[in-house]
Amino acid sequence: MQTITSVKNPLIKSLKALSRRQERENAGRILVEGEVMIREALKCGLVLKDVLCVERKADFAAGLSGEAILVPEEVMQAVCDTRTPQGVCASFQAPAPRKAEELPNPVVALDGVQDPGNVGTIWRTADAAGFGGVLLGAGCADPMSPKVLRSAMGSAFRVPFARTESMPETLGQLRAAGYSILCSDLHGEDFYERSPVNSKFVLVIGSEAHGISQATREQATHLVKLPMRGGAESLNAAVAAGIMMYELMR
């Protein structure tokens, strides 16, 4: 097994650079940390490129396809995004986004959801609930960022995604194709008493600070709100998305 000890090594520098969105997009690669996530990526068919490991993870890394590279803890720390790395990381060819109309039904759309933890958690919940795809609008956290991938726990490798620079325009096209568009609104109908939804539908989740934009809301076929029976005025975006996704699939 080859050994690299310097953070100035070209391969180490290239892997470390994958923490930045522009570098990920230029290289077409993502960095995946830890045994569980690496196994998920392989199970989902992602193409493995490079593997780094520390001594305690050498046996696991040696069992992967391709040559693993042994590094000291300080080099692993420099490459990984987490404060306490798990001792092994790998670069993979990044999953390619699809066109919005190619996403399997149903779809959860994120209108400016900026928190990576929320994006990843919604993605993971969409996977668990049985949603077919995730649509990300302008201003959303980068779906291939390390924090999103960790929060999604492999769901970002299984559930396809699409990007759009104009959420209203894209939703308008989906609406014309027969999709119901459900958007949350403070003055909307009770989510549990909503009017019937088509078999094809999009659930739109708004940003943590501003909710769903007015232009996006205008594309809705259904304006809905979760009832607030206690003193709280709102819910975390990922929690609200989870409640509605499971209820819609029920």
Residue 76 CB contacts under 8 Å (≥ 6 apart), including other chains: 52, 53, 54, 85, 87, 89
Summarised one tens digit per residue, pLDDT across range 206-227 is 988 888 999 999 999 999 999 9
Query: Residue 24 in contact with residue 72, Cβ under 8 Å?
Result: no
DSSP label at residue 102? G
Q: Which two tokens stand for residue 56?
A: 């305690």
222: helix, strand or coil: strand
Percentage of residues of the chain with pLDDT beyond 70: 100
Smallest CA-to-CA distance from 94 within 46, 36, 141 is with: 46
pLDDT at residue 58, as a whole number: 96
Asked if the bond preceding 106 is cis, omega within 30° of 0, the reply is yes
- Which of 17-31, 47-61, 132-146, 229-243 comes out lowest in average pLDDT? 229-243
pLDDT at residue 184, as a whole number: 87
pLDDT at residue 55, as a whole number: 96
- Taking residues 197-202, report their average pLDDT: 97
Smallest CA-to-CA distance from 68 within 46, 85, 90 is with: 90
Summarised one tens digit per residue, pLDDT across range 226-245 is 999 999 888 899 999 999 99
Percentage of residues of the chain with pLDDT beyond 90: 90
pLDDT band of 65, cuts 50, 70, 90: confident
pTM given for the model: 0.94
